[in-house]
Amino acid sequence: MSRTVQDVVFVDGVRTPFGKAGSALAETRADDLVVKVFREILRRNPNLPAERIDDVAVAATTQVGDQGMTLGRTASLLAGLPFTVPGYAIDRMCAGAMTAVTTLSSGIMAGAYDIALAGGVESMSRHPMGDGMDPNPRFLSERLVDTDALVMGATAENLHDRYPQLTKDRADAFAHASQMKTAKAYAEGWIQPDLVPIATRSQELGWGMLSQDESMRPETTLAGLAGLKTPFRAHGRVTAGNSSGLNDGATAALLASEAMADDLGLTKKMRMVGFAFAGVEPEFMGVGPVPSTEKALSRAGLSIDDIGLFEVNEAFAVQVLALLDHFGIPDDDPRVNPMGGAIAVGHPLASSGIRLMTYLAKDFERHPEVRYGITTMCIGLGMGGTVIWENLQTTGSRA
């Protein structure tokens, strides 16, 4: 038989507002968060008959309890999807949702699927990072990884060591800008349309509603950031202010073959150009996006100059700066994280990949003149992931 590679389009993406661990979403189950974003995706895309979804992949880092039991399947059933729709769980730590998207997209490209639903979730309230972890003793006894490899903040400090030009001041300035850009995007109403407000259970306070990200600090000042403690190293550079926090949240994205999207009349926000994942030394995990982006560009036959918008996950400011320095992009380049990022809104590990994509889709809407953008993130144990997207929300007829 002859095969045709299908183009994959990003139809829609939504997320819960991200809660601070131990706060608004602390009493809400992770699977329930996924259910609510799935249902919103279906509501927002009434042209999609739910039974046409070919597969569902949901990512979580700590896959136990309410994040276990094959989330893609359980969340689908709980959301009321027909039982004929299958699902599975996926894990690549912080790039879980990104990997859910790339894996499902591979299936669409290969012709195995036409419609797929991707999701990611992390309740760091209910599943603190590393909870229940049992690393193989050989990692340390045979020095397969540095002891820092499992402490993300320590890997960020290591980046400052490796690239002395990445100073704390630069990291703080970037972090401050993230807060300011986020506040502005909220004020202008760019972020809210893709949020799914969540009714929050609190035995102590009663039911409430989380309608916006809980961790934002629009009042942040550079002076304030300069005075924060450096918990990973005495007189270090990595602070709570220039890192993402510990968060709860879920994301979902609807993917389709371009032909099926046209058939069903689904929106087409962006087209997947290509993707790549790459590994680096685990104790320098923050530099992962550099090789993954190089690889993705090279495979797509593009150069960094073709990229008009960047959504880089802000696990740590220094790790974003490492990528920007590598490509010679200024710290305050307006193409980078134009609506801010994880330092302001939070980073519920496995869910963040789809947040980046949803942001990029919005960036594309605001910049119809831009053709290509990337979403990229660093990943624990020394990896990076990059997806290149093409803007379909253009005024002209580029498709």
Residues that bind another protein (CB under 8 A): 35-36, 39-40, 78-80, 196-199, 201, 203-209, 211
**Active-site option among 127, 160, 176, 347:** 347
243 φ/ψ angles, rounded to the nearest 5 degrees: -130, 165
Shortest Cβ 179–another protein spacing (Å) = 21
Shortest Cβ 79–another protein spacing (Å) = 6
Shortest Cβ 341–another protein spacing (Å) = 24
Radius of gyration of the chain (CA): 20
Shortest Cβ 206–another protein spacing (Å) = 3
**Choice between 58 and 287, CB closer to another protein:** 58
Shortest Cβ 63–another protein spacing (Å) = 22
Residue whose tokens read 């249902």: 39
Shortest Cβ 76–another protein spacing (Å) = 11
Q: What is the rounded distance in angstroms from the CA atom of residue 81 to the CA atom of residue 89?
A: 16
- Which residues, at least 6 apart from 387, have a Cβ–Cβ distance to it below 8 Å? 98, 101, 102, 272, 274, 275, 296, 357, 374, 375, 376
160 is written with which tokens?
Answer: 């400052």
CA 189 to chain centre: 20
Q: What is the rounded distance in angstroms from the CA atom of residue 75 to the CA atom of residue 241?
A: 34
**Active-site option among 94, 160, 176, 367:** 94
**Choice between 35 and 95, CB closer to another protein:** 35
Q: Could you confirm whether 176 is annotated as catalytic? A: no
**Choice between 49 and 208, CB closer to another protein:** 208
- Which residues, at least 6 apart from 226, have a Cβ–Cβ distance to it below 8 Å? 168, 169, 172
Strands 270-279, 307-312: parallel, antiparallel or unpaired by DSSP? unpaired
Q: What is the rounded distance in angstroms from the CA atom of residue 361 to the CA atom of residue 374?
A: 10
> DSSP readout, 332-358?
T-TTB-TT--HHHH---GGGHHHHHHH
**Choice between 10 and 18, CB closer to another protein:** 18
**Choice between 205 and 226, CB closer to another protein:** 205
Q: Could you confirm whether 367 is annotated as catalytic? A: no
**Choice between 36 and 362, CB closer to another protein:** 36
CA 357 to chain centre: 7
Tell whether the torsion through CA atoms of 44, 46, 50 and 55 is positive or negative: negative
Residues serving a catalytic function are 94, 347, 378
